Amino acid sequence: MLSDEEADEIKQKLISHVESAFPAEQILEAKKQIESMNSEQLESFLERNKLVKHENDSEKEKTDCVFCSIASGKIKSVSIDEDENAIAVLEINPISKGHAMVIPKNHEEKPSKEALALAKKVSKKIKKKLAPKEVEISESKLFGHGIINILPVYDKETFKSERKPAKIEELDKVKEELEREKPKKERKKTKVEKIKEVLWLPKRIP
C-alpha cells in the first residue's frame, strides 16, 4: 500500500502529464478523478495503466514507473541537464523557484554516484544563476525508484513546505535563466591605452 506521501507525489506527476498531454476539455475532469483517488485506488490505476514495476515481473513484462516515464520522455518534463546515467528536471509542483530533481535512467532503489554528481552540478548552477541563500539536496524513493531532490532555499523553505503547481511556460522561463550566459563586463582601459588611442588617431587636415 502506498503511503500518503507517495500517493501525493505520484498524483502530482500524473496531473502534470494530464496537463501537458490531454485535450483542454478533458483536463479538468481527469484532474478531479486523480485527486479523488485514495492510495489503494491509485495503486490499482497505476497497475492497470502499466505505470509501476513489480519485483516478481520478468524483464519482458516489466513496465515503466512514473519516474522511468519521465526519464524516457513518455511524461513531459522540463530538462535542465542530462548525462548517460540520469536526467535533471524542474519540479512541476515546486516549493521554490528552481526546485528540481535528478532521476536515474535505470530503475534502481538508490541513486548512483554518477547521479549524485549530476545533482551537485545542477545545484551549483542553480546557486550561481538564481542566487538562493543555499541549495539543499535530499534522496528519496518511490516505487523502488531512487531520486535526488534539489531545493533552492530563498527564505525558510524546506522539503515539507507547500508545493504550488507551475505551468510548463513558467518552468521554461526558469530553464532559460539557468542557461542564460551573463554578459562579460568590458574591461576598463588604462590611461596608457587611452593615450595610445588618441596618438594613433589620424590628424585632421586643416
Compute the mean pLDDT over every residue in the chain, rounded to the nearest whole number: 80
Each residue's pLDDT tens digit, 100-155: 999 999 988 899 999 999 999 999 999 999 999 999 999 988 778 899 999 999 99
Whether the predicted model's global pTM rises above the 0.75 cut: no
Give the least confident one: 54-63, 163-172, 173-182, 188-197: 54-63
Q: How far apart are CA 167 and CA 153, in angstroms?
A: 21
Question: Phi, psi at residue 28, to the nearest 5°?
Answer: -60, -45
pLDDT band at 32 (very low <50, low <70, confident <90, very high): confident
Q: How far apart are CA 55 and CA 102, in angstroms?
A: 23
Q: Supply the DSSP string of 14-43, one letter for each residue.
A: HHHHHHHHS-HHHHHHHHHHHHH--HHHHH
**Which sign does the torsion angle of CA 20, 9, 140, 150 carry?**
positive
Indicate the residue type of 104. P
Question: Phi, psi at residue 93, to the nearest 5°?
Answer: -125, 75
Domains of the chain: 4-180 (3.30.428.10)
Each residue's pLDDT tens digit, 143-169: 788 999 999 999 999 988 988 888 889
Residue 115: predicted pLDDT: 94
* Residues making up the chain, counted from first to last: 206
- The answer to whether 100 and 150 are in contact (CB under 8 A) is yes
Per-residue pLDDT for 61 more than 50?
Answer: no
Angle between helices 24-36 and 4-21 (to 10 degrees): 170
